[in-house]
Amino acid sequence: MIRPFHSFSLITLAIAAACATVPPERRGGDPAVAVTARAETAPVGTINEDAADDPAIWRNAEDPAKSLIVGTDKKGGLYVFNLAGRQLSFLPAQGLNNVDLAQLPDGRVLVAASDRFDPETAHVHISVLDKQSGFLEPIERAPVGAGEGYGICLSEPDGEGYVEIFSAPKNGVIYSLSYKPGAPAAAPRTLTSVPSQPEGCVVDDRTGTLYVGEELAGIWAIDIASGEKRLVAPTGTGMTVPDVEGLAIAPEGEKGGYLVASSQGDNAFAVYRLPGVEPLGRFRISEGAFGSVEETDGIELDPRSFGPDFPGGLFVAQDGVNPPAAQNFKLARWDEILAALEAARNQVR
């Protein structure tokens, strides 16, 4: 069932009510701790425009240091980079925004990007990543529902090789599409809707939860089976401000781990503990050997080892301000981020 949209005044009241219920000790994430990037990708090809948008990480289990990053240039197409930031390939495609990937049981790496070329109908652009060369082979462009394509994320594949593709167009209706390369096309399912424009999303397969960032309001937790939703991390609590953009997850154990959100409006990243989505703190990527990070759209995170340069996990963020070059993606160590947040909490105690 598609849930009705609400007026902006009702959105505001709902956010205010949510903020009022947050205990004072949980409201602030500042001061945001500072970390620095350990690497950066080559700039995207579109210069002097808002172009780079969202990254996805493929981890090479046999040699984690040879893992790959797929990144979108929404004016140009899809890039593939290695962990040193060197460009390995480029697949031209207009109108791609968010991107995610999943490794299928047969070993193929499926890459899905939201396609907003048709503003009336959201599509998903699907390709396969060659794990050795880093080249992308396009498969198809599939419609997923009404509205301009924007956010996208994937579930882990099931035993038969199907993944669930979640699409979050600008109109706020959240769709899901069961997909397997070569299988008959399935009809998209309307899961739920959010009151205003969403973008970033991420799936917690362990709990059957889809997290969606509504840019003005905050983060929703949506039950994938029923479509029921809760606003679990509203803006205005000291953790995020509009716009809430990319989301990423670092799972630990059966239900634990971390949920991270890009707070684009103040150039910071908010970290929450799972499963309760409890605020842990905020961080920024400051200037060091590489530049600082501002106006971030998409983010990606994997807490596993990626070799000697990223032994405790990899965090990737789009950098919206990267002068004198075009926008790119910055790579940071996840273990350093967690250590900085823990040190800040210990100082407060």
Per-residue pLDDT for 26 more than 70?
A: no
The predicted pLDDT at position 28 comes to 53
Please, which residues have CB within 8 angstroms of residue 47's CB and are 6 or more apart in sequence? 325, 326
Lowest mean pLDDT among 20-34, 187-201, 252-266, 331-345: 20-34
CATH of domain 8-348: 2.120.10.30
Q: What does the pLDDT look like over 248-283, one tens digit per residue?
A: 999 999 999 999 999 999 999 999 999 999 999 999
Q: What is the average pLDDT across 28-42? A: 91
**pLDDT tops 70 at residue 206:** yes
Q: What is the 3-state secondary structure (H, E, C) of 90-155?
A: EEECCCEEEEEEEECCCCCEEEEEEECCCCCEEEEEEEEECCCCCCEEEEEEEEEEECCCCEEEEC
Which of the four pLDDT bands, split at 50, 70 and 90, describes residue 120?
very high
Q: What is the pLDDT of residues 162-204, one digit of tens each?
A: 999 999 999 999 999 999 999 998 999 999 999 999 999 999 9
- Determine the pLDDT at residue 31: 87
- Tokens at 91, concatenated: 């697949």
User: At 347, is the pLDDT very low, low, confident or very high (cuts 50, 70, 90)?
Assistant: confident
pLDDT, tens digit, for every residue of 280-311?
Answer: 999 999 999 999 999 999 999 999 999 999 99
